[in-house]
Structure 1
C-alpha cells in the first residue's frame, strides 16, 4: 500500500511555525494522507533542511512551499533540498494563485474597513525587479476583487518594484483606504517596513493582518494536494513547472552539499 505525506515548507518568521502547525493540524484531519509534516529554515534551505528531509516518511511526498508566490528559494534552493527526501516528491505550487486567497484578502480588508464605494483596497506584495511571480499573483487577485468586491478601487503595490508601497498614499483616489499584505505569516516586512512606508501614523490608511491561520488557506492547501494527485493519476507525460524545478535543481559540490 502506498503511503502519502504532505510536507509544508516555510521560512522562519515571527509566527511562521504557529501558522504552519495550525494548517498542518487542520489538513491532517481533512486530507486522506498518512502524515502532515512541517519544516522551516532561516536562510539556507539546503543546509538547514537536509537532515529533516532525509527523515521524511511516505512513498509519495507532496511538498508545498508555504508562501504566496515563487521566490529565489522556491525556484532553486528548496527544490535542491528536496532531492534528499527518500520518497517520490511532488513539488506543489505556492498558495497565492488559489481563488480561495481572493476571499481571504477581501475578509482581511473588511475586518479593518468594510467594502464601500469610497474605500480603496490596496494589495501589498513582496515583489521583485527580476521575477514576475509576485506581480502576477497580486494582479490576479486585484482583477477578481474589482469584479467581486464592493471597494471603489483596488490597487497593487510592492516592496521591491513599482508601483512602490510608499506611492500608495498618492495613488489612492478614495477618501479611505485599507492595505492587505499578501503574506502568509508575520515578518519583518509586515511588522515594520510596510507600516513605515505606508506612513500609517498620518492616518487615512488602515492596515490588515497577513493571511495567518485562515481556514481558506487550508482549503487552498488541500486543493493543491488533490490537484497533484489528479495530475499523477492522469499520467499524460506532461511535466509541471514545479516538477521540472524539483527534477533539475540539485545541491552542488562547491557548496559542500553536493550529492554523488
Structure 2
C-alpha cells in the first residue's frame, strides 16, 4: 500500500504545462506498482500545500518531475511540503514523518544516470543513420543564474556520452546562461549536428524559442556548413517511466516503512461517500447514486438529455480544465465549470473523478470540520515566499483585499485566511460552502503583479 506523488511546476496560464506529469502518472498507474499515483503542482491543483493530505496511504514517495536540481527542487518544493529542508538534496533523498505518514522526497528524475540513455535514444530518433565520424551531438539545457546546480546534470550527461565515443563531438549549451546555444556553430566541425533539448516537455522553448533563435525550419535544417537534426525533448520519452520507477524503488530501499491506509483520508472519504449515496451537491456538481454507479454532472444540467457521457476519470480531468468559453481554469473551484456532460463511474473511479473535479476539497473540508486543518493568515503566507515572489511581502492588507476580491469572488471557497467566517460546509449539506484556509498560488501571483504595478507608477523612471 504505497502512494506515489509526481510533482510538476504547472501554470496559471498554460493548460498544456501539466500534460507531461499527467501522461507519466497514467503510465505508472497502468504498471500497477503503486496503490495510487497522484499529481501535484506548484501553480495548479492540487497544490504542494495540499497534495500530501490527499494521499490514501501512510507510505508516500514524492518525485519532482523536473529535469535538473535547482531552486524549485531544493527550495520551493521542500518548503511547501513542510519537509524542513533547504538546499541540495542528498543522493538517498529526504525522509520525514508528517501527519502519520512516511514521506520520502527524491532527487528530480532528470538527474538519474539512465537519462543519458534517453538522450541517446532521442538522438537516434532524430538521425537514425548517422555516421559517428561526421556527426556531433548538442545537448541543449535551459540554465539559470539562480542556482549553480541547475547545469550540473547537463555537463554530467555530456561527459558520459563523450566517454562512450559515439559521436565525434559532444557539447552542452544553454538558453539562459553561458555558454549560450546560439554559439553552436563556433563549436562544431562535423557536417551533421544532432540537437537534443534536455527539457521536460514540448512547450514554448522547444517549439518556439530554440527553433527561432537558431533558425531551425523543421526536423532537418540545412546550413552552409552543417545539417542540423532537431530531436524531441528527453522528458517526453517513454523510457522516463522506467527512470521514475527506478527512483521509487531506490527510495524504498532506504527505509523500512510499510504502508497502510491513512485513517484521516479514509474517514474523509467514508463521510463523503455516505452523503454521495444519498444524492448531494458539491459546488456546481450534482452527484447521484443508482444501481452501484455514481453520476456527476453540472447542477444546471439536471434533467437534461443529450449530455456527453464520460466513463474514464481522465476524460473528466481534461474536460474541467477548460470553461465553456474556452478559458483555462487553473483554480478548479472557479464558478465556470463547463456544462453539457455527465460522468458515470464505479466507486473506485468516482473517487478519482471527484479528485479531478475539485482537487483536495474533500480532504481539506473534512479536516477543517474536525479542527485538524490550521488556517494560515495572509501574513504567514507572504513571509514564506522567496525569490521573485518575496515582493508580496510589500503588499498592504488593502492590496491583498483588492486583488483577492476580484479572484476569490469568482471562487466557491470562503477566504478564511482573510478573516471570513464559515460555520457549515458542503458536508453539512450547504453545497457552496467550501473552506479556503490559505491563499492559493494564483492569488499570490496576482498580488505580486499588483505590487509591481504600484511600484512602476511611483518610480520616476517607471521601472520595477
Q: Shorter-normalised TM-score: what interval?
A: 0.7 to 0.9
Deviation at 1:213, TM superposition (A): 3.9
Going from structure 1 to structure 2, the CA distance change for 1:257 and 1:157 (only over 3 Å counts) comes to closer
2:280 aligns with none
Matched pairs, number: 239
Q: Which moved more, 1:59-68 or 1:20-29?
A: 20-29
Query: Contact 2:70–2:148 at 8 Å: present in 1 too?
Result: no
1:230 aligns with 253
Instruction: List gaps (5 residues or longer) in structure 2.
Output: 84-97, 258-377, 386-436, 438-464
1:40 aligns with 41
Greater fraction helix: 1
1:243 aligns with none
Query: Contact 2:20–2:201 at 8 Å: present in 1 too?
Result: yes
Deviations 1:92-131 (A, max 9, x none): 1111222221111111111112342211110011112242
Deviation at 1:14, TM superposition (A): 6.3
Query: Contact 1:125–1:134 at 8 Å: present in 2 too?
Result: no
- Separation (CA, whole Å) in 2 of partners of 1:24 and 1:200: 32
Indicate which of 103, 120, 127 corresponds to 1:106: 120
Matches within 5 A, 1:205-224: 205-224=228-247
2:19 aligns with 18
Query: Contact 1:15–1:185 at 8 Å: present in 2 too?
Result: no
Deviation at 1:31, TM superposition (A): 5.5
Query: Contact 1:179–1:205 at 8 Å: present in 2 too?
Result: yes
Deviation at 1:212, TM superposition (A): 4.1
Q: Give the SS at the match of 1:50.
A: coil
Deviations 1:201-243 (A, max 9, x none): 4633221111244232111101111111111249xxxxxxxxx
Which protein shows a greater Rg?
2
Going from structure 1 to structure 2, the CA distance change for 1:252 and 1:125 (only over 3 Å counts) comes to farther
Query: Contact 2:69–2:111 at 8 Å: present in 1 too?
Result: no
Indicate which of 116, 126, 137 corresponds to 2:153: 137
Query: Contact 2:71–2:146 at 8 Å: present in 1 too?
Result: no
Deviation at 1:257, TM superposition (A): 6.8
2:80 aligns with 81
Q: Give the SS at the match of 2:5.
A: strand
Asked if residue 178 in structure 1 is aligned to residue 194 in structure 2, the reply is yes
Going from structure 1 to structure 2, the CA distance change for 1:191 and 1:132 (only over 3 Å counts) comes to same
Query: Contact 1:200–1:206 at 8 Å: present in 2 too?
Result: no
Going from structure 1 to structure 2, the CA distance change for 1:138 and 1:101 (only over 3 Å counts) comes to same
2:216 aligns with 200
- Separation (CA, whole Å) in 1 of partners of 2:255 and 2:188: 45
Q: Give the SS at the match of 1:134.
A: coil
Instruction: List gaps (5 residues or longer) in structure 1.
Output: 235-250
- Separation (CA, whole Å) in 2 of partners of 1:19 and 1:136: 23
Q: Give the SS at the match of 1:123.
A: strand
Q: Give the SS at the match of 2:150.
A: helix
- Separation (CA, whole Å) in 2 of partners of 1:68 and 1:100: 13
Q: Give the SS at the match of 2:234.
A: coil
TM-score under structure 2 normalisation?
A: 0.47
Indicate which of 166, 169, 183 corresponds to 1:167: 183
- Separation (CA, whole Å) in 2 of partners of 1:233 and 1:148: 37
- Separation (CA, whole Å) in 2 of partners of 1:196 and 1:233: 50
1:245 aligns with none
Going from structure 1 to structure 2, the CA distance change for 1:14 and 1:156 (only over 3 Å counts) comes to farther
Query: Contact 2:73–2:107 at 8 Å: present in 1 too?
Result: no
2:459 aligns with none
- Separation (CA, whole Å) in 1 of partners of 2:171 and 2:209: 19
Q: Which moved more, 1:121-130 or 1:82-91?
A: 82-91
Deviation at 1:154, TM superposition (A): 0.7
2:442 aligns with none
2:31 aligns with 30
